[in-house]
Chains A and B, each alone.
Chain A
């Protein structure tokens, strides 16, 4: 540091680290001198878009403005904490979050996806919760593109390789193909954790004298990324220098075994009351963990990098601080608990080292080799980074997109053409069975999985005595979002809400992973602003809070951004999982009902995309009041046992829902279509707020009354039949075996080795 003060004019590679001229200027202003290499590294990673949310912050503030006290009633932790926490009853709390690991998964698909799982699991542990399930939202380029064949199988193997080894059931997710994701695949990993309300741990370092303990894996040169350019500065005087050192890839390498042991070790530490504050080490490693802990606490912090267990030689302070080596956590521990803490870690063979302590001051001071290499006010690093008001402008092309309506597209009309369209749609990559992916994930481990793919939502029992459970679903139709990001995001919210509601669970909370192009593009920022507003306004209308989220910008190749992809996750609670509504059509003899209204809505539809390669017009209308009404009907129907099965209508419309429901239940059906609708519209329109139900005759009367009471329109379509055939209106019957073959063959044909 004295060296930095003595050499104020020494040029520093701040641009290479991604800092703008004025950002570098501000660092010098804060410190009153030029930053040291370690300080420059810490500021550069913490002021990056990924860590600081500098382009999104001004928009995300809208969530706070739209969240009422009533919506906060069940929220124990929210935006700004590692993950949101919701009280779900009986003294239980649930935490959940989705995070992107997009770019690493393009560069090195297996490790990128694997460490994405590892990172989100540690976020959940940092709340004091036991991670209990994961789910993954995946988006790739065209299904038949060569690079998709490189990326998709490796991403799936990475998620399975890591998640299966952690012992967390994978209970859901999404798989979407679109040309804009070629070169920008999206890998968004979700994790759910469960804890007693009393056991919530928040990340802060308080109480002077408390010790900072780093535990888990050793710190190495993996995942350092851009910070390595600093090496050339710091080492320029030493002989040999780092230029002779082998550069490691900037994508981290995961070790799920170490993470599994870390989970069990953490939970035993929590149980023992040995942790005062805890933080995971993820993006920006120790730089992020120490500055965030110190910034959120009530004092300063001193950390000695010489104590950090390393797995490489000659690491610079900047490299130690910014290493993204996986499977590490940082805890704040009372001095009297340190010995007991280390005993628990030793039991699990987890390396644990006291690396510093909370101090009286208000500075984060880091030493290395007896020298002070960093001395900063921690809030300036972690919480008071730059804030940008990026230009926002609705793209001029948006009008042309909207006016290119799907109404002009040729539609099938004869029973033969409609039947062929059903089979084609069922086999299309956008709608076909996801079993080739999900069969590579363990959905059974821990014995609490009540619903998993191909159900509309995943459901877990969280209490074996009371049978209380939670359900979770993630959704986003990015084509709708491209047509109208405000409405499209509300449709994603509506679909995730509906997917939870059709299981009989009551939606309680929302998380999100907002994947967009470059924030420097005013058109992208317009999409982002619209998406945030749509989500916040929608949540306010539904009365459920956004408890956290993640923003991923720069998902674009050259000037072409991905379709705006705000992935929305909804969490719900169910008092008794034995009353869940399974996905399907029900048992022979049950009536088949359709709840909701069907309109001629094909903008952004799967049919327009698959058959015509068309994207234009308006997305389906959103009706959140109707979604709520349907949710209320289903919660009551689940409680009173009025329905035997349910399935939400979304991509592909009624035809797809009927096929999936029949295949899930292994039952045939005979249905007619409403006389007032064109059969094509009835079958393939993607009008929202619709659900298919299997209704035993014993429940029909009560259910009809419930629907009337909630103002939900009902269409009785037909009944479940004993034979293995689906007969729709005038079409020749479709056998379940033909449908199953069409539905299941697509992904294995594309991706099986």
Chain B
């Protein structure tokens, strides 16, 4: 386990909605990376002064109506949207990505997988950019393996949005190999224009320890944001 010397310096909020599932995993990943996880409850309307926020995976509100639609309208998300506008780093994982799209922090939408089934697999990915708050530790073009587990995981967006994402270097992750879900241009993760908000379908919090995951490739998402918060630049 990582040393905790930075824990007092960087506090990362992990939101729990009714139906959130991977909050314990996200908190564990934050801890492994060396920061202090802070639990945030969906009904809270402030973020308790955290330095960054993870919106974890799961089936918030049962994915009723649309995946992420109800969570995006809860008090804590209004606080997240305000904080993101001030530059607080926000990571949406899986259902969290869906929620950030529903909340308007990220463009596009996630729809039912092309194969219609839930897909759980160790997914090869390419990190397309390290110019975000959450990927600074990766080499651009790095190939990583991280679990993917979703049924509404197919990213879609209109052509002008796609052109903007590609043109501004905001495609963060792409699927490699056979597409797991039919996502447009194999997109599995994107960033906001300022690179502070990232949404991705794969679960880096499940790839922090080779005992319980396929790799430790996911840990650098959480280490990167500590760098971003503390202002240090990795070599």
Interface residues of A (CB under 8 A from B): 157, 160-161, 164-167, 255-258, 260-261, 264, 348-349, 438-450, 461, 464, 577-578, 752-753
CB-based nearest A residue for B119: A439
> Are B59 and A165 neighbours in the complex by a CB distance under 8 Å?
yes
CB-based nearest B residue for A166: B21
Docked pose: A164 CA to B117 CA in angstroms:
12
CB-based nearest A residue for B205: A447
> Are A447 and B28 neighbours in the complex by a CB distance under 8 Å?
yes
Docked pose: A577 CA to B120 CA in angstroms:
23
A residues near B28, Cβ cutoff 8 Å: 447, 464
> Are A461 and B18 neighbours in the complex by a CB distance under 8 Å?
no
> Are A348 and B118 neighbours in the complex by a CB distance under 8 Å?
no
Given the known interface contacts A442-B120, A444-B120, the answer about A577 and B211 at a Cβ–Cβ threshold of 8 Å is: yes
Partner of B212, one of A256, A349, A449: A449
A residues near B211, Cβ cutoff 8 Å: 450, 461, 577-578
Known: A164-B151, A447-B28. 6 other contacts (CB 8 A): A167-B21, A256-B59, A441-B120, A442-B120, A447-B25, A448-B212
> Are A257 and B64 neighbours in the complex by a CB distance under 8 Å?
yes
Tell yes or no: B22 within 8 A of A by CB: yes
Tell yes or no: B195 within 8 A of A by CB: no
> Are A165 and B62 neighbours in the complex by a CB distance under 8 Å?
yes
Count contacts on B: residues with CB < 8 A to the other chain. 30
**Interface residue ranges of B1-41 to A (CB < 8 Å):** 18-19, 21-22, 24-25, 28
> Are A447 and B24 neighbours in the complex by a CB distance under 8 Å?
yes
Chain B nearest CB from A663 CB (Å) reads 15
Given the known interface contacts A257-B61, A447-B28, A577-B211, the answer about A439 and B120 at a Cβ–Cβ threshold of 8 Å is: yes
A residues near B18, Cβ cutoff 8 Å: 257, 260-261, 264, 348-349
Given the known interface contacts A444-B213, A461-B211, the answer about A167 and B58 at a Cβ–Cβ threshold of 8 Å is: yes
Ranked 4 nearest A-B pairs via Cβ? A257-B62, A167-B21, A447-B25, A444-B206
Docked pose: A167 CA to B57 CA in angstroms:
10
> Are B59 and A444 neighbours in the complex by a CB distance under 8 Å?
no
Tell yes or no: B137 within 8 A of A by CB: no
Tell yes or no: B116 within 8 A of A by CB: yes
Chain B nearest CB from A638 CB (Å) reads 14
A residues near B115, Cβ cutoff 8 Å: 752-753
Given the known interface contacts A256-B59, A257-B64, A444-B213, the answer about A165 and B117 at a Cβ–Cβ threshold of 8 Å is: no
Tell yes or no: B203 within 8 A of A by CB: yes
Docked pose: A440 CA to B205 CA in angstroms:
20
Tell yes or no: B174 within 8 A of A by CB: no
> Are B118 and A160 neighbours in the complex by a CB distance under 8 Å?
yes
Mask: chain B, 191-218; 1 = CB below 8 Å from A; 0 = not: 0000000000001011001011100000
Tell yes or no: B147 within 8 A of A by CB: yes
CB-based nearest B residue for A157: B117
> Are A445 and B212 neighbours in the complex by a CB distance under 8 Å?
no
CB-based nearest A residue for B25: A447
> Which of B59, B121, B203 counts the most A-chain CB atoms under 10 A from its CB?
B59
Chain A nearest CB from B146 CB (Å) reads 10
A residues near B170, Cβ cutoff 8 Å: none
B residues near A448, Cβ cutoff 8 Å: 212
Docked pose: A167 CA to B17 CA in angstroms:
13
Q: List 10 A-B contacts (CB under 8 A).
A: A161-B118, A164-B118, A165-B21, A167-B21, A167-B22, A257-B18, A257-B19, A260-B19, A444-B147, A464-B28
Docked pose: A164 CA to B57 CA in angstroms:
11
> Are A256 and B62 neighbours in the complex by a CB distance under 8 Å?
yes
Tell yes or no: B223 within 8 A of A by CB: no
A residues near B213, Cβ cutoff 8 Å: 444, 447
Docked pose: A509 CA to B125 CA in angstroms:
42
Mask: chain B, 58-96; 1 = CB below 8 Å from A; 0 = not: 110111100000000000000000000000000000000
Partner of B120, one of A261, A440, A450, A464: A440
> Are A444 and B203 neighbours in the complex by a CB distance under 8 Å?
yes
CB-based nearest A residue for B117: A440
Tell yes or no: B149 within 8 A of A by CB: yes
B residues near A256, Cβ cutoff 8 Å: 59, 62
Partner of B19, one of A261, A442, A461, A577: A261
Chain B nearest CB from A582 CB (Å) reads 11
> Are B212 and A442 neighbours in the complex by a CB distance under 8 Å?
no
A residues near B58, Cβ cutoff 8 Å: 167
A residues near B121, Cβ cutoff 8 Å: 439
A residues near B205, Cβ cutoff 8 Å: 447
B residues near A260, Cβ cutoff 8 Å: 18-19, 21, 59, 62
Chain A nearest CB from B213 CB (Å) reads 7
Chain A nearest CB from B19 CB (Å) reads 5
> Are B120 and A165 neighbours in the complex by a CB distance under 8 Å?
no
> Are B212 and A165 neighbours in the complex by a CB distance under 8 Å?
no
Docked pose: A439 CA to B147 CA in angstroms:
11
Chain A nearest CB from B176 CB (Å) reads 17
Docked pose: A78 CA to B118 CA in angstroms:
36
B residues near A167, Cβ cutoff 8 Å: 21-22, 58
A residues near B209, Cβ cutoff 8 Å: 447
CB-based nearest A residue for B1: A464
Docked pose: A264 CA to B19 CA in angstroms:
9
> Are B119 and A450 neighbours in the complex by a CB distance under 8 Å?
no
A residues near B63, Cβ cutoff 8 Å: 165, 257
B residues near A752, Cβ cutoff 8 Å: 115
Docked pose: A321 CA to B125 CA in angstroms:
53
CB-based nearest B residue for A445: B21
Chain A nearest CB from B128 CB (Å) reads 24
B residues near A261, Cβ cutoff 8 Å: 18-19
> Are B24 and A446 neighbours in the complex by a CB distance under 8 Å?
yes
Docked pose: A555 CA to B132 CA in angstroms:
58
Docked pose: A260 CA to B209 CA in angstroms:
26
A residues near B59, Cβ cutoff 8 Å: 164-165, 256-257, 260
Docked pose: A105 CA to B220 CA in angstroms:
44
> Which of B25, B28, B205, B211 counts the most A-chain CB atoms under 10 A from its CB?
B211
> Are B62 and A442 neighbours in the complex by a CB distance under 8 Å?
no
Docked pose: A298 CA to B90 CA in angstroms:
55
Docked pose: A348 CA to B16 CA in angstroms:
11
Chain A nearest CB from B235 CB (Å) reads 30
Docked pose: A631 CA to B228 CA in angstroms:
50
